[in-house]
Each structure stands twice: as structure tokens, then as C-alpha cells.
A and B are shown apart, each in its own frame.
Chain A
Amino acid sequence: MALKIGDYKTQVHNDWCVGCGDFGIVNAIQMALSEMQIPRHQAAIFSGIGCSGKTSHFVNVYGVHTLHGRVLTFAQGAKLANPDMKIIAAGGDGDGLGIGVGHFIAAGRRNLDLTYIIFNNGVYGLTKGQASPTLRLGEKTKSLPTPNTNYNVNPIGLAITSGFTFVARGYAYDVRHLKDLIIAAVNHKGLAFLDVLQPCPTYNDINTRDWYSGMDNLDESKKQHSRIYKLEDTGYDPVVHYDSETEFNEKLTQALIKSLEWDTKIPTGIFYKNEIISQYEKRIMDKIPNYMENPPSSQVVSSNGKPTTDISKILDSMSV
């Protein structure tokens, strides 16, 4: 029987603020799971701490709500032990790019086959609006006593240079587009990163829904232009098609240049996609050939309570 969107929803009361962009993201996740018809027990949402951390409770698949900045460590551990699971890690920008940025970079270098979504709103919502690592230098959102004193990280650029092999950006209020991006990310063979612009109606009074839709972004004729545009509408090709350094560098460079666009034109869609770089799973298989067919979680370690592992050869070499 086909699984409907409703099957991926829990009964848990959602306590996000009215108008929060997170609703769009969790809807897109549920839509994507249903469109892909992933059996509920084969999917898991891991989440970090903060408003976005609650995501795992709202989706009716395995849900692991972890620690501030640590979501990728748990998610990768689970994936390594059971590579058959479809795993989506979700977290905030403060969570993943502040306290968790070391794990972010390390995960990129590994390139395990999972999806990481950052709910990016420029503020720490659950602790009442402090500046997050993506908030621009000098910006003063309403709960900041003085303008932000730090330069911002560039999540897309950081992901590309850290080794993520699928890098995209979505917008929380374009749920269908976001759903498509999530599906593409989950289907990608390797580590996928999705930066989702998610206006915080309570604390970020600069990058608001109106700001993204361009209420103040006027041309000479006073016509309003949405800041958000889609890369795919411009003929942009993010895919690394063949194994050549030139091709790699070209695709990396164009993605990095795109990642710098902000203010009046903000690209969404897929920036970069590379399935030529090997997944971490394949790198393990170079050492452990049957890793995928007999991963840690499937191994039979005992029979009637007795170990099945035979260390006699090792002990022989230690015998005197």
C-alpha cells in the first residue's frame, strides 16, 4: 500500500512560532519521503539542538534528536553501522556552522551517503535571537543590543571546499522546489548538503519573508524583484560529468562564484554535484570488500550466546 504524506506525520504538537519557515522544511521532508516511498523503518531523521532540532519528533520515521552541533557525528555513526538506512540530518545554522563546524568539515572529507539540511535563519532562535554564524557583519537584528561584530560563513562555499559532493540551496517558502531538492539530495550517491533559507519571524527582522520576496528590491522603474531565483532557470549546469581536473575545477569555481551572490540576487537550486569522487562506503570496501553486504549491524556475532569470532590465528602468533 502506498504511503501517503500523512503517514510520515506524527501526532506530536508542533510548537514552532506562527509563520516559521521550519514548517515548510518539515513539510518538504514529509513530501519527499512519501514521493520516494521510503518505508518508514528504513528512514531516520537525525537532528541537532534548537528549533530545528525538534524536526525529528514531527516526522514518523526513526527520529534521533541529538546534541548541539553534533548531529552529523550520530548520523554518520548510524550510517556506517547500517548503510541500508536512508538518513537525513537536520540542524540549525548556529548548530551546524558554529559549534558543529568541525564536524561539518570532517563529514565533507568523508563523503558518506547521507543528506544534511541546515535550517538557515541567521539567528539562534531558541535562546532568543543571538547572531548565528550566517548573519552578516554589521547587521543588527532586533534582539541584538549592538550590530553583529563577526563576518559570516558562507555555507555553500564551505560545503564545496570541505568535500561535500552535492551542494544545494532551497527556500523554506518554496516547499515544492525544496521537496525536489531533498529528493535529489537523498538520491545523490555521497554526502549532500542543503542550505535552506528559513526566515525567522520572531528574531530576524532583516532577512524576512518580505525581504526575500524583494519588497525593497526595486529597479529604476520601482518594480519589485524577488531576491530568490533558481539556478536551473538560468541554464546553470552543476554536474561534474567526467573525471578530469579541469572539469572538477570549473564546476567548483562556478559554484563558489555563485555562492557569493547575495543582497539583490540569491540563487537556489543545485550549485554542485559530483558523483565521481568516491563515497566513504566505497573507501571502506577497498579494505573490507564485503562491507556493504555484511555491515556491522547485520553481522552475526554469537550463536547460542557463544562468540562466533575466531581469534585463534592471532593468538597462535602470540604463542611462545
Chain B
Amino acid sequence: MLEQTDISWLIGGPQGSGVESGANIFSRACAAMGYEIFGKREFYSNIKGEHSYFVVRVSNNAIHSNINDVTLMAAFDAETIFRHADEVIKNGAIIYDSDLIATKVDEVHNMDLNYKQRLLKYLDSKNKPYTIQGILDIAQERGVNLYPISFRNVLSTMADEVNNPRLKGMVRMFNVLGVSFSLGVLGMPPETLLSSIDAIFAKKQAIADLNKKTANYAYNFATAKFPNFMYRLRQVEKKSGTILVQGYQGTALGKMVCGCRFQPYYPITPASDESVYLESNEILDVKENRPGSTVVVQTEDEISALGMTIGGALTGTRSATCTSGPGFSLMAEMLGWAGINEVPVVITLYQRSGPSTGLPTRHGQDDLMFAIYAGHGEFPKMVYASGDIEESFYDTGRCFNYADVYQVPVIHMMDKFLASSVVTCKRFDSDKITINRGKLLDKIEGDYKRFAFVPDGISPRSKLGLENGIFWNTGDESDEYGHISEDPEIRIKMMDKRHSKLEYMLKTIPPEEQAISYGMSDYCIVSWGSTKGPILDAIDMLKKENINIGFIQMKLLHPFPTDYIKSLLKNVKMVIDVEANQTGQLGLLLKQNLEHSPDYYILKYTGRAMTSTELYDSLKNIMANKAEKRQVLTHGA
């Protein structure tokens, strides 16, 4: 049997059928066996019915992305088979509900017409019937194993065996069946399955028990029926201090640790998960006698969310909000107010595909320029991007420090891919976070001027409620006290004072916090955000073929660290811009700041995250001089 240490598992079904909890059970079971996990979720903007799937990549090497190939697929509806059968590799397998075999393309009502037409054309070209049978025939001819199981019969037989007739019709158990069949086929120890279910349903014992019974039965059924799958997952050496974490939890935990105590928000995908998680953990363990807490407020809109956040920040409280593009649009007027009044707030911006509501549940990095230029007039702000979930924890701490130290709004760029990924990573270490409140005063004597002209441009900050610390704020231009002033000399001084912070940031933020360089060569990728994972993996794949490509991961995107990036790119012959947007926004920034456009662009804007496989292919084309200047990636349903 082939020892396989890097497999990709896909589970799919209609939205609302438990795809996500199925994937969580699988991920946890694999992680408990010592594997690294990289899982990503894809779903429609829909409550129930549309196609939803989760791909979990499992490896005992460090992995940072998904790949194109699927080793094993568990499909409990027809659409999953139609959409993903072609991704399953030779010698891989499809576990599917055999009751679906005669289902016609036309009978899958949720599938959009364009896709149906493409599918029919494809089946036609292969001379196959327009049914599940047809698409599976194609897979089988490629050497894919087909593992048909009647999900209903399994439930029904089991219901009789355990004498629980209610089980017969419980189609919502299909997800657990799919996972359990998969673990059986992969030869994983059954106890990993059961303890994973226990962990996932920790708060609902009765549900856990029923699921475990079903899982156990399905697991044994699959091991007996399909004992010869080539790929097996056995226990590997476990790295201690590993956690299995979902994307939005990185920033939420970062906020708890670094002292964010106030988070107003307005619901929006994919950002609200973070606030809901913060609220679920609103009471905090603190190393003093009394517990701390995060006050999370659901507001009436995003304008209010940022308005309240600013109000909170004026009291000296570390305050934040989180949103995605459409919500951030509404916040733009508030952002300017925070800018002119030098209020430290953090906005965690989970990008998704725009414009407008665009692809509401899909990935994108379309909002870089918007974040940099948001708000009318001219005022300093900071735009900072995290590349993965582990980074997002520590970066959240940094963003709050930047906000406090420079007294500016900080926009922390995240995205849907990061928010809804599930990964294993090193346990977050709170000791690595420092808290720097900057020039926040606890005591004031004498005449106080909130916006005093000081050499470094950062006036000591009072807070509401502080004796002798009375200040005024206004959205108008103001004097040093904060009172409205239209005096031309004051105007110049105030504008210059505020803008001087941008230079000061570049001077005082350590280079390693501005950008990370992962080895240099003649060829260099420049990118930002969640493309980091696919890039690292693609670079690794190329390295095995003795092709060396460097990579600069930009973190500080505004103000742009021109001199530092110039120095990094000094000896580079070719710059490749990789981004999840249509226009290559970072490329534009490079052009603006370095007076040099990237030589190549690799872009993806289907709303689906990049896989390392397609990135690798594209980079190879560039290396072989066979590529157009602009490469567009398309993988993924």
C-alpha cells in the first residue's frame, strides 16, 4: 500500500446540510493524529439548498494552501458529484450516495443554467448520458475508484439494529455518514472519529451520542466494504502545542489578549463571525481579582458601528470594529472624523469580492486601494495586512499598538479566505504580544491642549473622564484645543502635524513588521494578504525542481515603505505581482512608489481562493517564457 502523507479530502452537499460540521469532525480527527490541516470552505450566499463544500488538505509536512487535486471525495448530493468528480485524481475515490446514480443534470434545481449547459456539452463531448452515471463513468475511466453506498439504506439498517426507528429518515446525518465512511476508507483509527465527534458536540451530549453511534456503524460498514483504498492515514508524530483554529478566531483572540474591550459591529459576511465569537467569550480571564469583559454591541448599521467605536476610543478604551467591503464603504465618513481627530481605532476589514455586494460569500482582495484612499480629504491612516491565521493573532496586537502610538485609525486587512479557513498552527503565544498605549495620559496638570504642536507630531492624549484633561473634538479643522479654526496658518500647521506621522511610522516601525522577505533570487513575487499560503507552497514545489523564486510579503501597505522595498528589490530582475483581484492593485502601488511596474501579474478573481497548484503552473509558464504579462487563474467551483 502506498504511504501517502499529503491528501486532499472534499465533502459537499446542499447548504445547511452540515457540510461544515462534517469537515470539522474530519479536520479534528486528522489533526489529532498529528497531521497538519489546511481546510477551506466555499458556499453560496444562501441559507439552505445551494451547493456548499469544504476541502481539507491533510499532510505531515507544513502546508499553507489548497491544491487542485482531490484524493477522496464524500458527496451526499448530486450537485457535488457533478461539480467535483473531475477534480478527483487517478487512484483516488468518490464515496457517493448510490441512490443518486440516475439523477439527471436537469433534475439538479439549484445548479445555475450556465453551468448546466457547460456540463451537458462536456458529457456530450465524452459521449456519456446526462446523469450522475455519466459523470462517474468519466471518472472511472480515468482510474478513479467509485464507492457507492446507499446512505438511506445504511441509516435504515442501523435504525433497526439499534432499535431507533427515528434514525431512518434522518437525512441530516448524511454528513456524519460521509465523514465516517471516509475515515473507514482511509483506515484511520475509529477512536479518532469518536473523540472528534465528542469534541465538536461537546455542549450537546445527546446529539454527540447519536452521532457516535451512527459514525461507528458507518465506519465499520466502509472498512468492510472498501478495504483496499490506496491511501491510508496512520498516526504520525504529533507536534506539541498545536491548535486547530478557524480563521476569524485569530483576530478575535488577538483582540482579547491585547486589551480590546469594546467592539460594536453590524452583521456582514464574512466578518460577523469574529464579533459573534468575541461575544460568546465576552467574559475574560484576567490576571487580577476580577474578570474582564469585552462589550460587543450589534449596531443598526456600519456607520453606527464605527461611530460607537470612536466614542469608545475617546474614553481611552481600546476599541475596534470589523466589517467587509460594503460595510467599510459606509464607514468612510467616520474614518475621516477619526483621522482629523487622531482617534486610535482598529477596523478589521475582511475583504470579499465586490464591487457592490459582488460575490457576498466569496473571496477577494479587491479593497486595497479603497482602504488606502477611504475617506474624503487628506488624513493619515495605516493599512496593514495579515497573510495567515497565525499572523493575524499577533498582527491584531500590533495594529492596536500602531493605532495608539501614532493616534490614527488602523485598517487591518483580512479576507474571506482567511476568515473561513480551518488550519492547524502553533498555539498562539500571548507572551509575544506587547501592549503599548503610546501617549495616553493618566494624569494631567496645567493647561491641556489635545492637539498641541509637538516635534514628533503626536500630541499627548487625554480621555473622557480624566480630570484636567478636557478637550474638544470637531470634524472641522481646529486649533490646538480642538476648537473650530479656519485660520490659514493653523490649517497648514495642523495638516502638516497630522501628515508628519506617516514619515514617523516608516521611521519607527521595524522593517520586519513592514514586509517579510522569504529568500531572494533574480525572480521575485511581491504580494500581500492570504495569497501568502499558496505562494509559499508553490515556491516550495518549484524549489524541488531547482527553480528559485523569492517572495516579498507586504504587510504595511500604507504608508508605503518605499525605501525598504526598494532595497529588497535592488538586485531583482523580474517582479511578479500575485493578487486576488482583477486590476493588480498592489502592482499599481509598486508602480506609484517604486516607479517600476511588475513584469508579470498573476491574478485570480473568480471569488475562489488560489490553489498552490495553479499558481505553480502559472509561475512555471513565466519561467519558461511562455506566459502573457497577465495570467488569470480560474480553478475551483
Cβ-defined partner of B466 (8 Å) among A41, A64, A310, A312: A41
Contacts of B258 in A (CB 8 A): 301, 307
Query: A206 contacts the other chain (Cβ, under 8 Å)?
Result: no
- B285 contacts A311, CB within 8 Å? yes
* A40 to B444 Cα, complex, angstroms: 14
Cα-based distance from A75 to B202 in the complex (angstroms): 41
Residues of chain B lying within 8 A (CB to CB) of residue A70: 303-304, 307, 333-334
- The A interface, classified by DSSP as helix, strand, loop or mixed, is mixed
* CA distance in complex: A313, B310 (Å): 31
B343: min CB distance to chain A, Å: 10
| Cα-based distance from A63 to B287 in the complex (angstroms) | 35
Query: Which B residues lie within 8 Å of A211 (CB)?
Result: none
Given contacts A301-B259, A307-B257, contact A61 B470 (CB under 8 A): yes
Q: Which residue of B lies closest to A300 (CB)?
A: B288
Chain A contact residues, CB within 8 Å of chain B: 10, 12, 39-42, 44, 46, 49, 54, 56-57, 60-67, 70, 73-82, 84-85, 102-103, 105-106, 284, 287-288, 290-291, 293-297, 299-303, 305-315, 317-320
Query: Which of chain B's residues have a CB closer than 8 A to the CB of A79?
Result: 311
Question: Which residues from chain B contact A42 at a C-beta distance below 8 Å?
Answer: 465
Contact B311 A308 (CB under 8 A): no
Pick the contact of B464: A44, A306, A312 (CB < 8 A).
Answer: A44
The answer to whether B259 and A319 touch across the interface, beta carbons within 8 angstroms, is no
Q: In the complex where A67-B337, A310-B285 touch, is A296 in contact with B304 (Cβ < 8 A)?
A: no
> With A81-B311, A296-B312 known to touch, is A63 a contact of B482 (CB < 8 Å)?
yes
B375-424 interface (Cβ within 8 A of A): 397, 424
Q: Taking A74-B311, A301-B258 as contacts, is the C-beta distance between A81 and B295 under 8 angstroms?
A: yes
Q: 19 A-B pairs, CB-CB below 8 angstroms?
A: A41-B469, A42-B465, A65-B476, A67-B333, A74-B308, A77-B313, A80-B308, A80-B312, A81-B312, A301-B258, A306-B433, A308-B292, A310-B285, A311-B428, A311-B430, A315-B243, A318-B245, A318-B427, A319-B427
State A313–B306 Cα separation when bound (angstroms). Answer: 30
Query: Does B319 lie within 8 Å of A73, measured CB to CB?
Result: no
Q: Which of B83-91, B118-126, B276-284 is found at the contact surface with chain A? A: B276-284
A54, A75, A293, A297: the one contacting B317 at CB < 8 Å is: A297
A302/B259 in contact, CB under 8 A: yes
Chain A, residue nearest B239 (CB) = A320
The complex places the Cα of A301 from the Cα of B287 at a distance, in Å, of 9
Query: B244: which A residues are within 8 A, CB to CB?
Result: 318, 320
Contact B315 A319 (CB under 8 A): no
Among A12, A49, A80, A319, the residue within 8 A (CB) of B475 is A49
* Interface size classification for chain B: 35 or more
Within 8 A of A (CB), among B288-336: 288, 290-295, 297, 299-301, 303-304, 306-319, 333-334
Knowing A77-B310, A287-B282, A318-B244, say if A64 contacts B261 (CB, 8 Å): no
Contact, CB under 8 Å: A297 / B430: no
Q: Which residues of A contact B315 (CB under 8 A)?
A: 78, 81-82, 85, 296-297
CB distance from B344 to the nearest CB of A (A): 13
- 17 additional A-B residue pairs with CB within 8 Å, beyond A41-B470, A57-B484: A62-B465, A67-B337, A70-B304, A74-B307, A76-B311, A80-B297, A80-B312, A106-B299, A296-B294, A299-B259, A301-B261, A302-B259, A307-B397, A307-B435, A308-B287, A309-B284, A310-B286
Query: B300–A76 contact, CB under 8 A?
Result: no
Taking Cβ atoms with an 8 Å cutoff, the residues of B that contact A are 28, 31-32, 202, 238, 241-245, 249, 253, 256-259, 261-262, 264, 281-288, 290-295, 297, 299-301, 303-304, 306-319, 333-334, 337, 397, 424, 427-428, 430-431, 433-437, 463-476, 482-484
Across the interface, do B295 and A80 meet the contact criterion of CB distance under 8 Å? yes
The DSSP consensus for interface residues of chain B is mixed
Separation of A37 and B257 alpha carbons in the complex (Å): 39
Chain B: which residue is nearest A80 at the CB level? B295
User: Is A62 within 8 A of B243, CB to CB?
Assistant: no
Cβ–Cβ < 8 Å partners of A39 in chain B: 467
Flag if B334 contacts A301 (CB, 8 Å): no
Q: Which of A57, A73, A295, A299 contacts B307 (CB under 8 A)?
A: A73
Point out the residues of chain A lying under 8 angstroms from B464, CB to CB: 44, 62, 78, 82, 85, 297
Return chain A residues, CB-CB under 8 Å to B317: 81-82, 296-297, 299
Do A40 and B470 touch (CB < 8 A)? yes
Assembly CA distance A78 to B312 (angstroms): 5
Q: How far is the CB of A142 from chain B (nearest CB, A)?
A: 28
Instruction: Report the Cα distance A44→B471, complex, angstroms.
Output: 10
Max count, chain A CB within 10 A of own CB: residue among B241, B261, B482: B261
The 3 closest A-B pairs by CB, nearest first: A77-B311, A301-B259, A73-B307
Option from A12, A63, A105, A306 in Cβ contact (under 8 Å) with B473: A63
Are A294 and B473 interface neighbours, CB within 8 A?
no
> How far is the CB of B135 from the nearest CB of chain A, in Å?
36
**What B residues does A10 contact at CB under 8 A?**
483
Residues of B within 8 Å of A287, CB to CB, are 282
Closest partner residue, chain A, to B31 (CB atom): A320
Question: Which one of A78, A294, A307, A318 contacts B311 once the chains associate, using CB atoms below 8 Å?
Answer: A78
B256 close to A311 (CB less than 8 A): yes
Structural contact, A284 and B295, CB atoms closer than 8 A: yes
| Beta-carbon contact of B308 and A76 below 8 Å | yes
| Complex: A12 Cα to B464 Cα, angstroms | 20
By a CB distance below 8 angstroms, the chain B residues around A41 are 465-470
Complex Cα distance, B334 from A84, in Å, reads 25
Q: Which residues of A contact B249 (CB under 8 A)?
A: 318
Chain A residues in 8 Å Cβ range of B428: 311, 315
Query: Are A103's CB and B483's CB within 8 A?
Result: no
Q: Nearest Cβ distance between residue B253 and chain A, in whole angstroms?
A: 6
* A67 contacts across to B, CB distance below 8 A: 307, 333-334, 337, 475
Q: How far is the CA of A225 from the CA of B398 in the complex (A)?
A: 66
Q: A42 to B431, alpha carbons, bound, how many Å?
A: 36
Interface centre among B287, B318, B333, B474 (most CB of A within 10 A): B474
- Across the interface, do B475 and A309 meet the contact criterion of CB distance under 8 Å? no
In the bound complex, do residue B430 and residue A65 qualify as a contact, i.e. CB atoms below 8 Å apart?
no
The CA-CA distance from A153 to B430 in the complex, in Å, is 53
Contacts of A78 in B (CB 8 A): 311-312, 314-315, 464
> B470 and A60: CB pair below 8 A?
yes
* B316, A66: Cβ atoms closer than 8 Å: no
Among candidates B245, B281, B287, B471, residue contacting A62 with C-beta atoms closer than 8 Å: B471
Residues of B within 8 Å of A62, CB to CB, are 464-465, 470-472
Residue from B257, B300, B337, B470 in contact with A309 in the complex, judged by beta carbons closer than 8 Å = B257
